[in-house]
Amino acid sequence: MDRFVFLTIDGLSRGAVYAAFALALVLIWRAARVVNFAQGAMAVAAAYVAYTVSAATGSYWLGFVVAIVAGLLLGALVDRVVMRHVDHASPLNPVIVALGLVLLIQAVLGMVYGNEFRPAEAPFSRTALTVGGVAVLSPYDLFVFATIGVVVSGLAWMFARTPVGLRMRAAAFAPEVSRLLGVNVGGMLTLGWALASGVGALAAMLVMPTELGLHPHAMDLVFVSAFTAAVVGGLDSPPGAVVGGLLVGLLLSYVSGYAGSDLTPLAVLVLLLAVLLVRPGGLFAPVVARRV
C-alpha cells in the first residue's frame, strides 16, 4: 500500500510535466494544425541555455527564467523563419520540416555542449516527506505541481478571459474572417508558437532533474509520452491534454514500479496504439457529425 501511494504521487508528479508538454503540443495543433515534432528538441535547447546561464551566474532561478524566455523566443523564431514558409497543402510537409529541425537542433547542441549526459540540478530536495510513516510528496513534487498549476490556469484564463486569447482563438478557428475583422492572424500564430515553446521549455526544466539529466536526446522519450498524452486527450482539447498527461504519468509510474523501468517505452507504445485504434479522436473528442 505504501508503495502504491508512493507510485501514485510519483506518477502524478511526472504526469503533470507530461500534461504541460502535451498542452504545448495542443496549443500549436489548435493554432496551426501542425504537430510540432521538434518540440522536444526545442525544449532541450532552452534547457541548455538555462544550464549555461546557471553555470555562469550560480543562480538556478536566473537559469529557470532564462529557459522560459529562450523557449518563447525560439518558438517565435521557428514560426517566423521556418514554419511560415512551409507549404501546408500536405500534412506531411510540416512534420518533415519539424523532423529536420530535430536533427539540426540536436546536432548543434551536440557540437556546442558534447553528447555526454550532464547532471541537472533540482532546486528543492527530491526526498519524499513522510506522513504517518508513509512516504508521500517531496518538496520538488510540490514545486512541480504548483508551477504546472499556475501555468495551466494562467493559460486557461488567458484564452477564456482576455482579448488576446479571444483573438488567438478566432485566428485559429476562422483565419480569413478574423483577418477581415482586423485580427493580426500571423502575429497570433507566432504568439501561439512562442507560448507553446515556452511551456515546453518549462516542462523540460521540470523533467530534467527527475529523468536522466541534460542530453541532446533527453526529451525523445518524454516527447513520445507527451504525444501519447495529447492523443489520449484528443489533440484538440487542452483539458484533455492535462488529464491525458496525468493518466500517462500514472501508467508509466505503475509499470516501472511493478514491472520494471525497461518496459515503460513499450507501455507508452501499447497505450498509444490502443487509444488510436479504439478512439482515434481521443477520449475527450466531441462526436462530430460525419461529413460526406
Binding site for another protein (CB under 8 A): 29, 34-35, 37, 82, 85-87, 90-93, 95-97, 99-108, 110-111, 114-115, 217, 220-221, 223-224, 227-228, 231, 235, 260, 262-263, 265-266, 268-269, 272-273, 276-277, 280
Q: Are 105 and 45 in contact (CB under 8 A)?
A: yes
Tell me, rounded to whole angstroms, the distance of Cα 165 from its chain centroid.
Answer: 20
> What is the sign of the dihedral through the CA atoms of 269, 273, 276 and 282?
negative
Query: Closest approach of Cβ 43 to another protein, in Å?
Result: 16
Contacts of 230 (CB under 8 A, 6+ apart): 22, 25, 26, 29, 240, 241, 244, 282
Rg (CA), the chain: 19
User: In angstroms, rounded to a whole number, what is the distance separating the alpha carbons of residues 115 and 146?
Assistant: 32
Compare residues 2 and 116 and give the one whose CB is closer to another protein.
116
What cell numbers appear for 246 in the block? Answer: 496525468
Query: Closest approach of Cβ 29 to another protein, in Å?
Result: 8
Query: Closest approach of Cβ 211 to another protein, in Å?
Result: 14
288: left (phi over 0), alpha (psi -120 to 50) or beta: beta
For 97-152, list the strands marked E by DSSP: 130-131, 134-135
Query: Closest approach of Cβ 66 to another protein, in Å?
Result: 24
Compare residues 111 and 146 and give the one whose CB is closer to another protein.
111
Query: Closest approach of Cβ 37 to another protein, in Å?
Result: 7
